[in-house]
Amino acid sequence: MASVIEQCQVAPSPGSAAELTLPLTYFDHVWLAFHRMRRILFYKLPISRPDFIQTIIPTLKDSLSLTLKHYLPLAGNIACPQDWSGYPELRYITGDSVSVIFSESDMDFNYLVGNHPRDAKDFYHFIPQLAEPKDAPGFQLAPVLAIQVTLFPNHGISIGFTNHHVAGDGATIVKFVRAWALLNKFDGDERFLDKEFIPFYDRSVIKDPNGVGMSIWDKMKKYMHMMKMSDIVTPPDKVRGTFIITRYDIGKLKNLVLTRRPNLTHVTSFTVTCAYVWTCIIKSEAAIGEEIDENGVELFGCAADCRAQFNPPIPPSYFGNAIVGWFKEYDKVDAKRSVSVAGSPKLDFYAADFGWGRAEKLEFVSIDSGDSISMSLSKSKDSDGDLEIGLSLPKTRMNAFATIFTHGLSFL
């Protein structure tokens, strides 16, 4: 489905620092046992195979190398002590690099970028797998980023990213992607790289006077025997669907909430959208004949960006994880009774313009993972104020969800 044109390693450009080591904070520890994050950006670009090889590949490699000069940890590894006696850390040394695959596919580009249900397995041809960990004296080194660029001749290009969540949250990754896009668009001219895209590395801003980090690490070590440093990919038997909720419908949902809870002073688009999708997901299970325990606990999980909550605030360009969720609650419920959200309307992946215009479609492939249901949430590609929801469900349940979602909005 995707044949390899070239496989290479891209290192930070000359003049980069020789090495960089970042200790993990308590924001990072909880992601050690988490599945890898996988995203694909699709771009409409009617380009031929020769042009792709002669122009697109060289400029992407050059601009990526320049970008990695600023984002050194993404070219490095997670260094984990062999016996887990010490803290893991992010480590870059000269010679480290990012694995990049350039490939070609004859799949239907328009099918892949549609909103209708599409076979989830089809997207796994366009995301890379992280290389196997390698041993070093006293440590195991696991890469944190891999990239795959795929040509759909005369139709478009996709760029697939796989990263370990320990390296950074969505705010960090979107800044890296947009920085790469800017440098590619403007032929490597770093004057176009705004300050917001230059990472802030000082981990001392994460204060821990109460020893929260040590407490979390002690708990995490209990799960280390379950951890897989290898990147394991298992395409699911599901379909992927995309749903748009307009700002007009969001406004009506907000009004509905405020009429029932008049004491609320502010209701966010994020809250009402997640709440509406969650109820539709639960209703879809009943609609396909599944038995539901009326007294059972349903759990919805989301992570909150804490950068602005610190005193003083952490810089928005802080590199790493600065999001928090209440993971201990997951121990109290069946994973199949939980829904979580990936992404945020504040993170605009669609704005990553490599010189080919805004992306045509964003797919959060990693929402396929696990027994629980995950939804992705992002800004709409075309309209300010609209939101885009991504779901991965068994086909019959996706059909039920789509009917319930559309029907419910029509009655607002």
Active site residue 135: no
Q: Tell me which of 51, 122, 334, 353 is the catalytic residue.
A: 353
3-state secondary structure of 369: coil
Task: For residue 403, report the phi and psi dihedrals to the nearest 5 degrees.
Answer: -65, -45
pLDDT band at 302 (very low <50, low <70, confident <90, very high): confident
Give the highest mean pLDDT range of 67-71, 228-232, 379-383.
67-71
| Arithmetic mean of pLDDT, 31-58 | 94
Question: What is the Cα–Cα distance from 174 to 352, expressed in whole angstroms?
Answer: 8
pLDDT band at 228 (very low <50, low <70, confident <90, very high): low
Model confidence at 389: pLDDT above 60 = yes
pLDDT of 108 reads: 97
Model confidence at 317: pLDDT above 70 = yes
Q: Tell me which of 70, 96, 165, 305 is the catalytic residue.
A: 165
- Domain extents for the chain? 2-226, 239-410
Model confidence at 249: pLDDT above 80 = yes
CATH class belonging to 239-410: alpha beta
Instruction: Give the pTM.
Output: 0.94
The per-residue pLDDT for range 180-221, each reduced to its tens digit, is: 999 999 999 999 998 899 999 999 998 877 777 777 777 777
Active site residue 353: yes
Lowest mean pLDDT among 232-236, 248-252, 362-366: 232-236
Model confidence at 225: pLDDT above 60 = no
Q: Which fold, 2-226? A: Chloramphenicol Acetyltransferase (3.30.559)
Of residues 407 and 212, more confidently modeled: 407
